[in-house]
Each structure stands twice: as C-alpha cells, then as structure tokens.
A = this chain, B = another copy of it.
C-alpha cells in the first residue's frame, strides 16, 4: 500500500473548503480531526482528513451542533474489535438515520411552503398586469 501523497497544508485545506484556518484548528481542539504533523510541528492533511472535514461541514448545514457531530464521528471511528462497542454504534447510527429521514420530510414541507408562496406571487403579478 502507498502512503498516498494527497496531503496539503492548513491554509490550502481552508481555501478548498471555504472556511478559515481558525475554524479548522477549532475543530481540532474539539477533537473532531487529528492531522499528522511535520517535523517542524506543522499540520498536514490527508484525503481522509479532508473527507472528515467535509462530513463535519455537511452536518453543520443541517443544524447539528459540533457535539452531535462529534458523536456521529465517534461512530465512524469505532474500534472494530469490541463487539459491544460495534453494536452500540449500530444503534446510534440507526437513530441518526431516523433523524435524517425526518429532516427529509421537513425539507419537503419547507419546499412546498416556498412553492405555495411563489404561486401566490405569480398569480398576483398576472392580475396586476391585466389591469394595465
């Protein structure tokens, strides 16, 4: 196996994901990512770190707090030797899936609501144009 060479610095990663370096370091403080270091103590990020960060940002866009995201990630990082631990993670993951499905329904409602408003507006515009 290779030691895939797709690494980058903190500022490169920040630019790629359109966030600040402060944000990345903050997530590290919270234990959400743990990049390797160069001999000079500078952070280096792999594709894996990058994927992890994207997952974090995605979670945030759905209103999950960093603590909740930390939990989800905890699941992803499960030590695959302890069978009890694995089963707990499964239960946790299923709970999250439940939540996600609920969110999807709410997303539909939100869309409906906006579409309805849209229709009202369009109808109104047509009425106004006829009156001219």
Interface presence of A104 (CB below 8 A): yes
Which of chain A's residues 63-109 have a Cβ closer than 8 Å to chain B?
63-64, 72, 75-76, 78, 80, 83, 86-87, 89-90, 93-94, 96-97, 100, 103-104, 106-107, 109
Interface string of A113-126 (1 = CB under 8 A from B): 11101101110110
**How many of these chains are in the complex?**
2
Q: Tell me the smallest distance from the CB of A132 to a CB of chain B, in Å.
A: 10
Q: What total of chain A residues lie within 8 Å of the partner, measured CB to CB?
A: 42
**Contacting pair A118 B100 (CB below 8 A):** no
Interface presence of A28 (CB below 8 A): no
Interface string of A43-76 (1 = CB under 8 A from B): 0000000000001001111111000000010011
**Contacting pair A107 B117 (CB below 8 A):** no
The closest CB in chain B to the CB of A63 belongs to: B63
Q: Tell me the smallest distance from the CB of A70 to a CB of chain B, in Å.
A: 15
